[in-house]
Amino acid sequence: MKKKYNSINKALLLSTTVLLLGQNAYALEVYSPYVEKGIMEIESKNRFDLDSRQGESGFRQHQFAIGYGLTSRWQAELYGELEKEPQNGYKYTATEIENIFQLTEVGEYWADLGLQASYEFAHPKGSSDKVELFLLAAKNINKFTTMLNIGFEKEVGDNSNKNPEGEIKWMAKYNYLPKFSPGVEYYGEFGEIGDPETYSNQKHRLGPVIYGQLAPGFKYDVGTLFGISKSAPDYTVKVNLEYEFPVNW
């Protein structure tokens, strides 16, 4: 059962965390279909690409977000995104509005289902906005949890690609302890659906990830993903942090 904080503590925690996120803010994430009404979430998602190819290593991406469970079926989040290309400095690249809809009750069907729909406003001049739509699925069997995201990303506006790009995200973990649960994640980027790339030109990553809760409401998942296709980076390090607490407006 989650602890309740008074209004002053909530405000202090929120303002402090936002300041930290602004300095350390995206990493890769497999989305859950579950929504909790009245829960505020503050997230920091961080991704670091390492590659042996000259000029390819050193990409950084950070997202900082705040979200809220508006109903028992709908959660909305607002993201800000920073990126650093190799040999270049950091730039603020996008603002994203994301919605997660829980479609089924827990245990109602063989798998629990949800939907993620988001719109990304690109900030660099000449860049295209993006629309994302993913079907989310989760299944719990004894101490094991597995989740699957299948969907696409489509550029919109000026200079946008004609075809959407297909993606798959998958994770499985063993719920060993609340503070430490080992698992594995896979990410596949297949290129444009209407004109698919060869496997070597697609980006596929696979690797171990550790999940846990360090304190009430404070969650983490960290891991190293290995590039298993030629175009993917050799290594991608992900560090995701999340703090959640109840808020009754």
Q: What is the pLDDT of residues 46-96, one digit of tens each?
A: 999 999 887 778 899 999 999 999 999 999 999 999 999 888 889 999 999
Q: Distance between CA 78 and CA 249 in Å, rounded? A: 18
pLDDT for residue 168: 96
Q: What is the per-residue pLDDT across 164-175, written as a single tens digit (0 to 9) for each? A: 999 999 999 999
CA dist list (Å): 150 to 95, 166, 189: 23, 8, 11
pLDDT block averages, 10 residues each, the chain of length 249: 41 36 54 97 96 83 96 97 89 95 96 97 85 97 97 86 90 97 96 87 96 96 96 95 93
Sign of the dihedral through C-alpha 192, 198, 202, 204: positive
Q: Any bridge partners for residue 117, and if so which?
A: 99, 133
Q: Distance between CA 108 and CA 88 in Å, rounded? A: 49
pLDDT for residue 4: 43
The two three-digit tokens of residue 226, written as one number: 């290995």
Q: Any bridge partners for residue 147, and if so which?
A: 138, 171
Phi, psi of 100 (to 5 degrees): -120, 130
> Could you tell me which of 26, 45, 31, 35 has the C-alpha nearest to residue 135?
31
> Could you tell me which of 210, 220, 35, 28 has the C-alpha nearest to residue 115?
35
Query: Could you write out the DSSP letters of every residue in 135-200?
Result: EEEEEEETTEEEEEEEEEEEEESTT--SS-EEEEEEEEEE--BTTBEEEEEEEEEEEETTSPPPGG
**pTM of the predicted protein model:** 0.86
Domain 7-246 has CATH 2.40.160.40: yes
Query: What are the boundaries of each domain within the chain?
Result: 7-246
